Structure 1
Amino acid sequence: MRVVEAFRESFGAEPHGVWHAPGRVNLIGEHTDYNGGFVLPFAVPWGVTAAVSPRQDGLVRLRSLQAAGPAVTVEDLRQAEGWTRYVVGVVWALREAGHPVRGADIVIDGDVPQGAGLSSSAALEVAVGLALDELYGLGLSRMEIALAAQKAENDFVGMPCGIMDQAASALGEEGKALFLDCRTLGTRAIPFDLAAHGLRLLIINTGVHHELADGQYARRRQDCESAAARLGVDTLRDVTDLAGALALLSGDERRRVQHVVTENHRVEAVVGLLRAGAVSEIGALLNASHLSLRDQFEVSCPELDVAVEAAIRGRARGARMTGGGFGGSAIALVADDRVEAVRDSVLLAYAERGWAPPEVYPATPAAGARRLA
């Protein structure tokens, strides 16, 4: 295992263990998580692997095989920079919660496609969190590890994400999607056996990334919070009379509420269809989700729109952008005998516009975070 070899090379010793956490793709339920709503992600076969040993001197020594250079030593956690913030943020979050995490030597290796919106950051946080939980005997549940990872990203890195990404990485199961109530943190594994229904879920990685940290993501969240305050509810999850709510709002707030409320209904509808074994019937709900994200939440971009439209022209059962938006990936639900046609349709649409070809590959629900060695 190359992460173990790199650990030996960097620190002159064997790691105490090796842990892996996957990225995720969200089947449906976008921008609902921080509104107390419902999401339906699943863990993907790609992720982050961490070789880790504890330290007693408070230092965190880090190396990533995806970043050039030797290991970095962090003495003052607040001085962490770049990718190291996601790792050090987990150490910080656990210490803030009162856990006796003294330090660690950590080497990271990852194969989540970069810029695809498949949540490599959550995979990194959860892999490190799981390792520290076991090494220091913290006795945390998987959801508690996910919450510590979310706190690291929210309060240390400064990205106001919801709990979905970390929960999917920590709690995913092979062959199943994770239905998550982001208010109660209740979860349910939902069968999602594509092969049994002659289907595949294609990820279309546009290869573009319009930076979320420029404030667009945070602005959407602010829109939702201000709309909730105007409507007198804790979160948009509490809106039960959509028509009445929309009559009280205008502009961005009105559009955001329309998306969040209808998206929650779409998640519940997809869960119902999957539990009934009607996997091929969810396509129309994927299409509706994309239109809402494009027009009401305004987080799509030309590359995502073209990928979705071309997939549907190629006779995909349904398609939509996935993830936070402004780039990253789309997904398409495709019959086995239409995979090549859908791929060709998307590649042709990109070529006609002079864009670099996107990567297109299938994804199946994979196991969540676990110890490898």
Structure 2
Amino acid sequence: MKKKLVQSVKEHFVQWFDNEPEFVFLSPGRINIIGEHVDYNDGYVLPAAINKYIGFAISKNETSACTIFAQDLNQSHKFDLNDTLKPIDKMWMNYILGVLQQLKEKGFAMQGFNMVFSSTIPMGAGLSSSAALECGIGFAMNNMFDLALTKIEIALIGQKSEHTFAGVNCGIMDQFASVFGKKNHVIKLDCNTLEYEYHQADFKKYSLLLLDSNVKHTHLTSGYNTRREEVEQGLATIQQHFPEVKTFRNCTENMVLELKEKLGETIFKRCHFVVKEIQRVQDAVDALEQSDFKTLGQLMSATHRGLSKEYEVSCDELDFLVDAVQHENSVLGARMMGGGFGGCSINLVEKGTEEELINRISKQYQNQFGIELKAYKVKISKGTTVYKN
């Protein structure tokens, strides 16, 4: 798959620019094993880079002009690096322009380049193809023009590009996972301090299977903003009664239970989920360290119940996909992944049983919703890198 992608971008580069590319870079998508909606609640997340990539074939051209070709969309864009770069109506291009404009503002010297890129990261499935694009271009510029940027700087530049040029107020997890990914390891990341540690995640006789609901409900943005307001309100109430609580990280389940009446039903549910999910991430790290995949699976399923019933960011399609595998002997656990209201479920399944499971769930899903299910087997891979033959 990786070699095929590399071959494809190289061939298209030759067709488009009539010479071989100087460099090929690969920038991966990401999954999050557990720790959903806690990045803005002072919790930890547990992401990993996966073996789905954006491939970039690229060469310097000794001018200030840049030509970029998006192979999968069959679209191109030309611009001059000496101009002030601004958002345009091609959304895919904004992720790239946002990164380049920041590098210019920081005073880095670059020159014109030609580039072709293509992706094996499924669009709209919540696997962060945008972060892969931003970090890939940042990594490429750093490498080609010796900018001496750190990995953290590349991730932060990617995040800021998404804020300023794409208008999406994302957290840092996606970019961080794309740049810092390590084969067979998850990253326990504190999204506030950016402190992180790697933990072994060799699933041995199990594999990770993503089932893509193929839906994206429109209340993702509004629902996300409302949840943020609700948990902020809840934390303020908790702090009134327990002044020692600085963040949800040092709030206990007992405190939340004690304030159930005062918080009110909705805010109670939101806060209860957050406190439990912060603990589940810690428990998941312990389970991974001990290769206790049964416990990890149970934690994933518990997260889904919390996201569905307490945080209320799931949807009928995702609930169906998670419920459909709960009694399968080959599945240790499943949950929705990402912001919610659509996207993928992530499933921890026994190796060798995936195809049969996909076929069975696909038929059930088609019968229930009239929607075609997509499935992706993923492995935990290394982060953004130069491809060497």
Name the TM-score, length of structure 1 as normaliser: 0.89
Size of the aligned set, in residue pairs, is 371
Partner of 2:75: 69
Give 5+ residue unaligned stretches, structure 1. none
Partner of 1:203: 210
Greater alpha carbon shift after TM alignment, 17-26 vs 151-160: 151-160
**Residues 1:79 and 2:90 aligned together:** no
Distance 1:236 1:59 in 2: 49
Do 1:314 and 1:345's aligned partners in 2 also have CA atoms closer than 8 Å?
Answer: no
Out of 263, 284, 298, which is 2:277 matched to? 263
**Residues 1:109 and 2:124 aligned together:** no
Out of 159, 162, 169, which is 1:150 matched to? 159
* Inter-CA distance 10–250: structure 2 relative to 1 (3 Å threshold): farther
Give 5+ residue unaligned stretches, structure 2. 1-6, 240-244
Distance 1:95 1:252 in 2: 46
Greater alpha carbon shift after TM alignment, 129-138 vs 219-228: 219-228
Name the TM-score, length of structure 2 as normaliser: 0.86
Q: How many Å apart are 1:350 and its aligned residue?
A: 0.7
- Correspondence list, 1:317-336, <5 A: 317-336=332-351
**Residues 1:188 and 2:197 aligned together:** yes
Do 2:52 and 2:378's aligned partners in 1 also have CA atoms closer than 8 Å?
Answer: no
Distance 2:223 2:101 in 1: 26
Do 1:239 and 1:245's aligned partners in 2 also have CA atoms closer than 8 Å?
Answer: no
Q: How many Å apart are 1:239 and its aligned residue?
A: 3.4
**Residues 1:367 and 2:382 aligned together:** yes
- Percent identity of paired positions between Structure 1 and Structure 2: 35
Greater alpha carbon shift after TM alignment, 120-129 vs 180-189: 180-189
Out of 265, 290, 309, which is 1:295 matched to? 309
Do 1:225 and 1:235's aligned partners in 2 also have CA atoms closer than 8 Å?
Answer: no
* Inter-CA distance 144–229: structure 2 relative to 1 (3 Å threshold): farther
* Inter-CA distance 225–107: structure 2 relative to 1 (3 Å threshold): farther
* Secondary structure of the structure 1 residue equivalent to 2:124: coil
Greater alpha carbon shift after TM alignment, 51-60 vs 85-94: 51-60
Distance 2:387 2:126 in 1: 25
Do 2:45 and 2:189's aligned partners in 1 also have CA atoms closer than 8 Å?
Answer: yes
* Secondary structure of the structure 1 residue equivalent to 2:154: helix
* Bigger Cα Rg: 2
Q: Which amino acid aligns with 2:251?
A: V
Q: Which amino acid aligns with 1:155?
A: T
* Secondary structure of the structure 2 residue equivalent to 1:147: helix
Q: How many Å apart are 1:319 and its aligned residue?
A: 0.5
Do 1:130 and 1:145's aligned partners in 2 also have CA atoms closer than 8 Å?
Answer: yes
The one-character-per-residue Cα deviations of 1:298-340 (angstroms, maximum 9, x if unpaired) are: 2211111111011113232111011121211101112236435
Q: Which amino acid aligns with 1:326?
A: F
Q: Which amino acid aligns with 2:95?
A: Y
* Secondary structure of the structure 2 residue equivalent to 1:334: strand
Distance 1:11 1:224 in 2: 52
Distance 2:224 2:65 in 1: 33
Partner of 1:37: 43
The one-character-per-residue Cα deviations of 1:15-51 (angstroms, maximum 9, x if unpaired) are: 4422111101111111112333211111111111122
Do 1:208 and 1:328's aligned partners in 2 also have CA atoms closer than 8 Å?
Answer: yes
The one-character-per-residue Cα deviations of 1:253-274 (angstroms, maximum 9, x if unpaired) are: 4433222221111111000011
**Residues 1:221 and 2:228 aligned together:** yes
Greater alpha carbon shift after TM alignment, 277-286 vs 59-68: 59-68
* Secondary structure of the structure 2 residue equivalent to 1:91: helix
Do 1:205 and 1:329's aligned partners in 2 also have CA atoms closer than 8 Å?
Answer: yes
Distance 2:95 2:220 in 1: 14
* Secondary structure of the structure 1 residue equivalent to 2:319: helix
